[in-house]
Amino acid sequence: MMLISLTLRCRTQLFSHSVIIAVPSVLFMLSWQFAQFAFLTQILVLFGLYLLDGVSSDALKCILKGHVISLFISIALLFGNKMLITSFYTSVLLMCFVIVSTENIWRKLN
């Protein structure tokens, strides 16, 4: 959570911030089977803050990229764990990433 706070404080979000989030997330995911629920809570809170304009879309994209990277690495290192692939965390993470990434398209339609 400290790395998320530091990422939110930065004025410019770089890919290195995503990697900095991904590395401990992979280690956490590999060491505890219920880590996906902690990450799900984190993603839902950040997405709620995004909806309330508390977090910029660039910052949220950076954080979500880190989580997506860590998810794919964790799936590979856990030999394609089906419980992780089909988890609610995976679906929420991917849908939040799609929603935030297509924000500009939705704004143009309105």
**Contact by Cβ (8 Å): 21, 66:** yes
13 pLDDT above the threshold of 90: no
User: Distance of alpha carbon 79 from its chain centroid, rounded?
Assistant: 21
User: How many angstroms separate the CA atoms of 49 and 106, rounded?
Assistant: 19
User: How many angstroms separate the CA atoms of 103 and 22, rounded?
Assistant: 23
User: How many angstroms separate the CA atoms of 64 and 100, rounded?
Assistant: 9
Query: How many C-beta neighbours within 10 Å does residue 81 have?
Result: 16
The residue extents of the domains of the chain are 16-109
pLDDT in tens, 24-40: 999 999 999 899 999 99
Please state the rounded mean pLDDT for residues 86-103: 96
Give the helix ranges, DSSP H, for the chain. Answer: 2-9, 15-31, 35-51, 57-77, 82-85, 88-101, 103-109
Choose between 8 and 76: higher pLDDT: 76
110 pLDDT above the threshold of 80: no
Q: What is the pLDDT of residue 11?
A: 84
Q: What is the pLDDT of residue 6?
A: 87
pTM metric for this prediction: 0.92
